């Protein structure tokens, strides 16, 4: 018969010791924080022990063992470390999921450049292009600097629906606003002269140096 199992279980993770590295964090020592912590709703929770860690940027942070072992905390999440970890430059948030802002950027890229996209015929196939500073390496970082983070309940919209994707012609707008700003809607509520003026304005934006730098 097999020997009875011991009541002691093997630890799921290797022990945390001073000097061990987790991403940008290096463990310094284990310290006991306040006996109780306060949540946002005012309720208390048992704080217990935390590990004092030093980040590569020089800051220090108290982190619980479960966050370190699960990989949920790899930096101090302050300053540039927070910007990098939360996807301000990579397009991904702290949980390694695609951010909303990057999702809008990628959707714009696909419908203008990717012929396999279902929306390419209505955008790239119709001549809608993306400004050169939003393309290539560092394109998303420049897009973020020009447009800012995507607000909740809004997506990327072109002010002139006949124009191209550029900082001057793009904004964050609600679905209702965008529905009233479509080409087919403008055609019903504007004269042919006004529609032609919008098309000419859009064509002038992409002439000269702008068109040459874009590589289209």
Each residue's pLDDT tens digit in the chain (216 positions)?
Answer: 455 555 555 567 788 889 999 988 999 998 876 556 677 787 877 666 788 899 988 888 888 888 888 888 888 877 777 666 555 555 555 544 567 888 899 999 999 999 988 889 888 888 888 999 998 888 888 898 899 888 888 999 888 887 889 998 899 989 888 877 676 555 555 555 655 565 555 555 555 444 444 444
In angstroms, the Cα distances linking 137 to 45, 89, 90, 132, 156 are 45, 11, 11, 11, 21
Pairing of strands 44-46, 49-55: unpaired
Phi, psi for residue 107 in degrees, rounded to 5: -65, -40
Please check whether residue 171 is in contact with residue 155, taking contact to mean a CB–CB distance below 8 angstroms. no
Region of residue 122 (phi > 0: left; psi between -120 and 50: alpha; otherwise: beta): alpha
Side-chain-facing half-sphere of 33: CA atoms under 13 Å: 15
Report DSSP state, residue 21.
E
How many other C-beta atoms are found inside a 10 Å radius of the C-beta of residue 36? 11
12/32 Cα distance (integer angstroms): 23
């Amino acid at each position: 018969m097999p020997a009875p199992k011991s009541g002691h279980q093997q630890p799921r993770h290797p022990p945390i010791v001073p000097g061990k590295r987790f991403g940008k964090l290096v463990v310094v020592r284990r310290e006991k924080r306040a006996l109780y912590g306060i949540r946002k709703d005012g309720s208390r929770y048992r704080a217990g022990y935390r590990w004092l860690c030093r980040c590569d940027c020089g800051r220090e942070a108290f982190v619980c063992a479960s966050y370190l072992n699960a990989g949920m905390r790899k930096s101090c999440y302050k300053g540039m470390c927070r910007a990098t970890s939360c996807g301000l430059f990579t397009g991904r948030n702290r949980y390694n999921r695609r951010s909303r802002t990057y999702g809008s950027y990628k959707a714009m890229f696909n419908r203008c450049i990717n012929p396999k996209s279902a929306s390419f015929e209505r955008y790239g196939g119709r001549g809608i292009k993306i400004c050169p500073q939003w393309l290539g390496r560092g394109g998303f970082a420049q897009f973020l600097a020009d447009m800012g983070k995507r607000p909740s309940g809004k997506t990327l919209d072109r002010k002139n629906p006949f124009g191209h994707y550029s900082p001057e012609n793009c904004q964050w707008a609600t679905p209702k606003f965008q529905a009233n700003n479509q080409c087919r809607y403008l055609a019903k509520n504007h004269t042919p002269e006004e529609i032609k003026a919008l098309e000419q304005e859009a064509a002038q934006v992409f002439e000269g140096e702008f068109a040459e730098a874009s590589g289209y």
